Structure 1
Amino acid sequence: MPLHPSPLRHPGPDTRIGVKEAEAALVEHYPRLVRLAYLTLPPGLGRHRRVLAAHAVVQRSLYGKPPSAPRPAEGVPAPRSGGPVAAATQAPAYAGVRLRVVRSALAYGRRPRWWPGRVPAPAALRPSVPVVRGLRLFPRAGGMDEFALDRALADVPAPVRAALGLRLLESLPADGTRLLLAEAGVDDPADAVRAAALVAGSDHERVRRMLRSGEFDPCTVQTRPGDLLRRRHRGRAGAACLVLLVVAGGLALSADGGAEGARPQVSPLRRTLPGGALDPAGLVRTPPAQWADTSRVDFSAWPPRGDRTDDTGLLERALGNWAGPTADVAVTTTPGTAVVPPAQPPQLLFAGEVGDEAVVLFHDGGVRVVRYAEPLSGEGAPDLDFARVDDADVTTAAALAVSRTGTSVRYLLAPWVAESATRDLLAPDAPARALDVGGDGVTAAVPRPEGGGACDSWPAVQLRSSEKIVEKHAFLVADLGDLAPAHLTHTPRPGSGAPARQPREATGTDGLLSWARTACSLRDLRDSGVRAVNNWQFAQQRLPGTRSTADWVCTRADTWRGPGRVLVQFVPPSASPSASLSARGEVVSDRRNTALCSRFGQHVVAGTHWKSPTGAWYVLAAGSRAVHRIEVTGSARGVSEGPTLAVRAPRNAAYHVNARLHDGGTLSASP
């Protein structure tokens, strides 16, 4: 007579599993059960408590009455093959233990709404073993993808995390997952399965690999000591002594603060990140000469600079506040930048004193730069700035704002910058003025464009790269309020002899003249995470009743996160030859999140109202070089077999512009 049920006969829902069979299944598949419990448990427990709770949930699944076999899903036969592991995980003993694990992990996070968030759950819902004293346990840190997945799972309910684990780690079908969740006490298991499918997306294999990585493995952990000082104090003193120690400690801290100046406190969160990501000794430091002998000329080639690169205390405070800013830290981010701790030791770019601040700059190795600044006097709050810099190159990784005031900014220049100067974009005829740079790569103060009022000047920095990287050329950057200044380029008008849609550096005469007429429009692009701005003079139009011409310019701002913004500007002729630079562009169209005026949107048409010197009003329209016919409809009507059109119309006439391309395509624009 067999001792176990036949694998070909599915036990009924009331079949009891023997304790020995359940224990054998638990021991054999312990790692996968603990991983499933860890995934389901509330992330708010913290990584240490979550590891212990996952082991406790699995170990306590044998307590009480022997587990029952879960009810089979109707119409879903058990798999006939799949290897010994798949067959074993479908066995009644394992299925019963798994059901208990999921039920217990879900119950752990199920508290009454009135239950305080920081108070532990009731004892009935709180596993009591195992207990670890004196050590903190953490799963091994994964990459940025695993970290992002962990953050995403923290925002969904426990049933969704359980459903994701059952579907991807346990390879259960959707019907089987819904039935198991229902038996575990989930109110709407179908909704949990649907939400888990949304979290997994279309690439299930990729998410499955991440869930099986060390980031979600509570059986392979790293250890760190707990709070040694607190443990020692608790063992040596009673309640009365603690009061005395607090008073004495406060006096000692006050004395130290008066001698050395108060320092920002480091967030306790820095002790919870594994992998040495917040250890100053583990910071990546690029060799000083690597930039001249590498194929990757970006922030990864910057060596550490500044007079405090070996100041462990400053670096600890910067890293600690990056991991978990204290309440007094002022945090700013550019749009689309993740404010998360580093997943691995970051690269140190700068640590030194700039003005009245101690400043530290980090690069996380791929996507972000982080700036930390604290006042040298000890008075005032620290600042923490995050910015995206993915896919930076010779020009977009040429400088970072290391210090900024209301009227000026100081940059840390890339090691490949051989020459630096400043110039006013609104004065293209004025020569560039040399910019002083210290031995640590920090520039003198550069004036910032005024935030409001008249646009009388627009300072920019002109840089020239070193011939050592075979990229010796000059380029312009301008401060738009972010850590990395924006790279300014220019695309000449049709008929200039330049190839179509080939942006070039704006340091030549045509580029400087173009920016002199349009630089004030950069005000609208401040603090939006702009990577580069290109001026494309897509059309030139003869104005009716005059001998003058006007330019049509498409100013495209590309952001670090991807989406672009387009300002189409009509640049009228100057009022007189002596005022050749006084006429500035007028924005006639503002488009966001668009591919217009890029290599993915190479055709454009626009229109505007214009008053001639004689007082007559017109509707003007122009298109890029591929436009061969323009038609205006509405209150103003007209057709032109060419890329420009002018139609007499009332001052506020409503109109719509349609254009046809040489290849048969169409474009349209409205005011």
Structure 2
Amino acid sequence: MAYLVLPDDLAKHDRLIHAHWIVNQSLPRGPRRPRADLYEKLRHQVLRKAMRPAHTGRARLGPWLRLQPATSTDDDLALTTELGRLTAEERAAYVLLHLESMPADDAAGLLADLGVPDPAAALRGAAAIDEHLPPLDQDALLARPPMDPTITRLYGHRTHPAMSRPTLAMFAAATAAVAAAAALTFAFGHPWASAGDNGPAAHAAGGRPDHLTRTRPGEWERTTRLDLDTWPARGDLTGDDAFTSGALAAWNAASTRDRDITRDHADPGPPDAAPQLLYAGHAGSARVALLHDSSRVARYTEDRGTTALELFPEGRLLPGGASPLRLAPGKLLMPPWVTAVKSAALDGGRAHWQPVNVAGGVASVPAVPVSSGCARGPVLELQQPTIAHGRPYTIIDLGGLQSANLLYEPPPPAPVRRLGPHQVDSAPEAVPWGFQLWGKLACRPAGPAAVTGHGPGSVEMAMAWEFWAGNLPDGGGRGHWVCTRYGLGDGGSRTYATLLDDRGATLTGQRSGTWDCSRLQRDVVSGTWWKSPKGRWYYLAAASRRVVILAADGPFSHPAVKKGFLVAQGPKGGQQPPGKVSLQAENYDHHPMPIFQR
């Protein structure tokens, strides 16, 4: 919308960038939930700003990276030329009629709300385009990728098939904002921007890069974006041209295969830029190289006469900037700002932190006993005194390229932390119970072993949120109800609810692909049958702190609720009572809370 409503006197590139800027300024702050009412408000803001653009000169747009939209055809040029003959009010009317498929009366009402003095005249002016371009041709042109200003060599995840039109529009608007933010970051923070001979590589015949790029040492100290672009090349084989050339050849071969697979389905984009060398050296008995481009990391391995290249998506930023990268079992390449590493095994007790040897940026991680269904770590504490607040952060190696950030959120009455869950570290302000809780989960169905088979390098965050803690009935001792959330590299999630007591753990429910137990969805309720130490069955349910209504109906008696905890008495002895249990919970806003129940 913004792209088509902006004036035609802007150059195509500048109009695209300004459209991104308008959408970014219009997006609401805080959690962005794809609701229809938010979409209508967003549409109103975008149209208002595009009809009355301010600061369209190059002074505002100059620093932005020159994003290159897909090439327009002559037909596309004809449409934008016709739009250029219209006033801003008429262009706004055009997008409401053609992009939004809005009835004329509704479009007139929205134009009036936008301050258009004569909506009927604006609609007549928009309809004049039909005299030069048939409506069917216009619809076909608007549906083609070249007319979509959010497509700027930016590839996202597959959209959910059940998304409504407003949801899709919100997704497109958010994508436009991401492209704009990426442009700013790349323009100001990329270490190759003035790297001289270390800049982007020339390409060999056929569009393949013919050498690797290397970031200058200490680049991370000169930028505010602590991602893989700022990592220098490390390892004892960085000067071995034969080895690094072999890694580059494997990269080129893999990129060619990917291009051959996708060329019939999408524009493959410009020729591949030369990848960045992150590491080349020995890791155990193997020789390993790590290569990186804007979206991928490759691990090239030569071991006992065999070679292999594995491609992984680049992970999201962690509190310290980036995750260590796994070179081989027990060998992790640390971010350059990490000054020391400690380790501790998840054994169910207090953490016993031991220093880890780090040489040339590679940490030699001690092995821990391995048993079926368990993931005991080790947990690593990474010291980063010169970064941000200087707090260490904790990770667990789950066997993939990336390690998972290990976190803990305590139950009420502990306050909700504005900066998010606690790191499970040894800092003075740490919560020691968080580490012990993860030790109790290590060999449970909700433990890290539940997601280690999801895919290499896919688990980026593991958070245990203890949303209720208290005394269990009938002499059951202390209970802890925990929501364990795993954030995956593809944007998905796996979430488990577990009731822990002195005798073990009960998995009480699981969900996938939701916001549950995150900062975007802090409400949760879970229920389960539970047998007390005296042999009586109880139906128990607990909810997080925002609950105002908690109720259950089923084959039990005397349900009672106190401080977000429901207890209902069942029979004594025997097997778990049969029959369906209906569990309900509402929060302060009288919205249903997500239910975890088996």
Q: Which bracket does the TM-score occupy, shorter chain normalised?
A: 0.5 to 0.7
Structure 2 residue runs without a partner (length 5+): 1-64, 83-134, 155-202, 259-267
Alpha-carbon contact 2:487-2:494 (below 8 Å) kept = yes
**Which of the numbers 493, 504, 509 marks the counterpart of 1:564?**
493
Q: Of residues 422, 430, 444 in structure 2, which corresponds to 1:504?
A: 422
Aligned to 2:372: 453
Matching of residue 486 in structure 1 with residue 411 in structure 2: no
Report what 2:450 is aligned to: 524
Shift, 1:530, TM fit: 1.5
Rounded Cα–Cα distance in structure 1 between residues aligned with 2:417 and 2:242? 54
Structure 2 counterpart of 1:422 = 343
Alignment of 1:313 with 2:231, yes or no, is no
| Amino acid in structure 2 at the alignment position of 1:399 | P
Aligned partners of 1:341 and 1:304: how far apart in 2?
A: 25
Corresponding letter in the other structure for 2:500: V
Quote the residue 1:403 is aligned against: 328
Q: Which amino acid aligns with 1:279?
A: D
Partner of 1:278: 209
The 5-angstrom pairing of residues 170-319 of structure 1 reads: 171=79, 200=145, 204-205=148-149, 273-274=206-207, 278-280=209-211, 283-319=212-248
Q: 2:567 aligns with which of 624, 646, 650?
A: 646
Tell whether 2:233 aligns with 1:325.
no
Equivalent position amino acid for 1:291 in 2: W
Q: Give me the whole-angstrom Cα distance separating, in 2, the residues matched to 1:387 and 1:471.
A: 28
CA contact (8 A) 1:539 1:623 kept: yes
Distance 1:449 1:665, change over 3 A: farther
Question: Structure 2 CA distance, aligned partners of 1:341 and 1:311?
Answer: 29
Change in CA separation of 1:537 and 1:194 when aligned onto 2, cut-off 3 Å: same
Q: Considering only aligned residues, what root-mean-square deviation do their CA atoms show, in Å?
A: 3.6
Residues 1:369 and 2:297 aligned together: yes
Contact 2:373–2:449 (CA under 8 A) maintained in structure 1: no
Contact 1:636 1:655 in 2 (8 A): no
Residues in 1 aligned to 2:418 and 2:530: alpha-carbon distance in whole angstroms: 28
**Taking structure 1 as reference, are residues 634 and 196 closer, same or farther at Cα in structure 2, changes over 3 Å only?**
farther
Secondary structure, aligned partner of 1:463: strand
Name the larger-Rg structure.
Answer: 1
Map Cα deviations across residues 72-97 of structure 1 (whole Å, 9 max, x no partner): xxxxxxxxxxxxxxxxxxxxxxxxxx
1:110-143 deviation line (CA, Å, top 9, x unaligned): xxxxxxxxxxxxxxxxxxxxxxxxxxxxxxxx99
In structure 2, distance between residues paired with 1:429 and 1:556: 22
Partner residue, 2:62: none
2:277 partner amino acid: L
1:384 aligns with 2:291: no
Do the aligned partners of 1:449 and 1:458 also contact (CA within 8 Å) in 2?
Answer: no
Whole-Å separation in 1 of the counterparts to 2:526 and 2:68: 42
Q: Measure how far apart 1:355 and its partner are.
A: 2.2
Answer whether contact 1:629 1:639 (CA < 8 A) is retained. no
Match of 2:30 in 1: none
Match of 1:168 in 2: 76
488 and 205 in structure 1: CA distance in 2 versus 1, 3 angstrom threshold: closer
Q: Cα gap change, 1:288/1:171 in structure 2, threshold over 3 Å: closer, same or farther? A: same
Are residues 433 and 662 of structure 1, via their aligned partners in 2, closer, same or farther at CA, if it must alter by over 3 Å? same
CA spacing shift, 1:359–1:170, aligned 2, 3 Å = farther
Query: Aligned equivalents of 1:411 and 1:374: distance in 2?
Result: 17
Report the TM-score, using the length of structure 1 for normalisation: 0.54
Distance 1:474 1:204, change over 3 A: closer
Q: Does 1:464 align with 2:379?
A: no
Alignment of 1:585-604 (within 5 A): 585-604=505-524
Residue deviations 1:128-162, cap 9 Å, x none? xxxxxxxxxxxxxx99987xx79xxxxxxxxxxxx
Q: 1:531 to 1:272 in 2, by over 3 A?
A: farther
1:8-34 deviation per Cα after TM superposition (whole angstroms, max 9, x unaligned): xxxxxxxxxxxxxxxxxxxxxxxxxxx
Correspondence for 2:33 = none
Instruction: State whether structure 2 residue 360 is matched by structure 1 residue 431.
Output: no
Q: Is the 8 A contact 1:553 1:569 kept in 2?
A: yes
Aligned partner (choices 414, 433, 437) of residue 514 of structure 1: 437
Paired amino acid for 1:204: D
Report if the CA contact (8 A) 1:426-1:456 is conserved. no
> Bigger CA drift: 516-525 or 479-488?
516-525
In 1: Cα distance, 2:372 partner to 2:144 partner: 48
Distance 1:553 1:541, change over 3 A: same
Asked if the contact 1:144–1:343 (Cα under 8 Å) also holds between the matched residues in 2, the reply is no
State the shift of 1:291 in Å.
2.3
What CA distance in whole angstroms lies between the structure 2 residues aligned with 1:665 and 1:425? 38
Matched residue, 1:185:
none
Q: CA deviation at 1:448?
A: 6.4
Q: 1:484 to 1:606 in 2, by over 3 A?
A: same
Change (3 A) 1:593 1:430: closer
Partner of 1:118: none
* Per-residue deviation, 1:489: 0.9
Letter in 2 for 1:475: Y
Q: For 2:137 and 2:306, how far apart are their aligned partners in 1? A: 47
Q: CA deviation at 1:564?
A: 2.1
Identical-residue share of aligned pairs (%): 27
Asked whether the equivalents of residues 291 and 302 of structure 1 are also in contact (C-alpha less than 8 Å), the reply is: yes
Amino acid of the structure 1 residue aligned with 2:539: V
- Cα deviation for residue 295 of structure 1 reads 1.4
Distance 2:553 2:583 in 1: 7
Question: Would you say the 8 A contact 1:323–1:341 is kept in 2?
Answer: no
Distance 2:553 2:68 in 1: 52
Change (3 A) 1:199 1:370: farther
* Corresponding pairs, count: 406
How far apart are the structure 1 equivalents of 2:286 and 2:153?
A: 45
Measure how far apart 1:411 and its partner are: 0.4
* Distance of 1:449 and 1:593 partners within structure 2: 32
Which letter does structure 1 place at the counterpart of 2:226? V
Structure 2 counterpart of 1:345: 274
Preserved CA contact (<8 Å) 1:420 1:462: yes
Distance in 2 (alpha carbons) for counterparts of 1:204 and 1:505: 42
Q: 1:504 to 1:326 in 2, by over 3 A?
A: closer
CA 412–195 in structure 1, closer or farther in 2 if over 3 Å, else same: farther
Contact 1:278 1:316 in 2 (8 A): no
Give the one of 484, 495, 500 matched to 1:555.
484
Compared with structure 1, are the counterparts of its residues 383 and 368 closer, same or farther at alpha carbon in structure 2 (3 Å cutoff)? Answer: closer
Distance in 2 separating the partners of 1:327 and 1:205:
28
Q: Take 2:153 and 2:381, find their aligned partners in 1: how far apart are those partners?
A: 47
User: Distance in 2 between the 1:373 and 1:631 partners?
Assistant: 57
Query: Which AA in structure 2 matches 1:373?
Result: T
Q: Displacement, 1:395?
A: 3.3
Q: Does the 8 A contact of 1:626 with 1:661 survive in 2?
A: yes
Between the aligned partners of 1:554 and 1:627, the Cα distance in structure 2 is 16
Structure 1 Cα separation of the partners of residues 555 and 291 of structure 2? 57
Change (3 A) 1:306 1:632: same
Q: Is the 8 A contact 1:322 1:384 kept in 2?
A: no
**CA separation in 1, counterparts of 2:531 and 2:240?**
64
